[in-house]
């Protein structure tokens, strides 16, 4: 792929995501593959397939940053992969959310609300697990940097996070 094609693709994705964001998702946390904690040192909360299938058909796969809330708890920074995780060759699309907080235990069965605020990058494949881990660390830092902006901070207080699950 030539640089002009890459720049066009990135520009197209940025335009598509800017019309869809912020995007709000809510659903039950289900057990995933367990790779986030075990392989990557980056635990993730996963949604059931029906929540993933509720995404718009033109939703751009990739890595997003935003805010997350478990049940009625505090709202935390998060980074999420929306897509097929090419390194692991997933057959089904998933939404895997890394919440930037240390939790004392798993929270399977809890209600998870996320606000996808911005788009960091498209999905990529990696030559090694170490390369994937390095990119995840960079994604987390990029997410934190972006979430410190005033426009992103305002979404932390969005009424989506204040309504109670019935």
Looking at residue 39, what is its pLDDT?
74
**Predicted local confidence at residue 13, as pLDDT:** 54
- Per-residue pLDDT of 76-133, as tens digits, reads 999 999 999 877 788 889 999 999 999 998 999 999 999 999 999 999 999 998 999 9
Q: Would you state the CATH architecture of domain 3-161?
A: Beta Barrel (2.40)
The pLDDT > 90 percentage for the chain reads 67
The residues that are catalytic are 96
* The pLDDT value given to residue 164: 59
CA dihedral 38, 40, 45, 46 (to 10 degrees): -90
- Would you state the pLDDT for residue 159? 94
Ramachandran quadrant class, 58 (left: phi over 0; alpha: psi -120 to 50; beta: rest)? alpha
Domain limits of the chain?
3-161
Give me the percent of the chain exceeding a pLDDT of 70.
86
């Amino acid at each position: 792929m030539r640089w002009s094609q890459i720049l066009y693709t990135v520009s197209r994705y940025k335009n598509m995501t800017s019309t869809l964001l912020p995007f709000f998702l809510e659903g039950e946390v289900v057990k995933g593959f367990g790779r986030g904690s075990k392989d990557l040192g980056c635990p993730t909360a996963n949604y059931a397939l029906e929540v993933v299938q509720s995404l718009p058909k033109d939703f751009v796969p990739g890595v997003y940053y935003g805010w997350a809330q478990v049940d009625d708890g505090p709202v935390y920074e998060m980074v999420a992969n929306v897509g097929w995780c090419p390194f692991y060759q997933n057959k089904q699309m998933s939404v895997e959310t890394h919440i930037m907080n240390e939790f004392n235990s798993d929270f399977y069965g809890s209600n998870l609300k996320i606000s996808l605020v911005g788009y960091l990058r498209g999905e990529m494949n990696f030559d090694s697990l170490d390369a994937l881990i390095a990119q995840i660390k960079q994604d987390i830092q990029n997410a934190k940097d972006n979430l410190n902006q005033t426009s992103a901070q305002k979404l932390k207080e969005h009424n989506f996070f204040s309504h109670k699950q019935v």
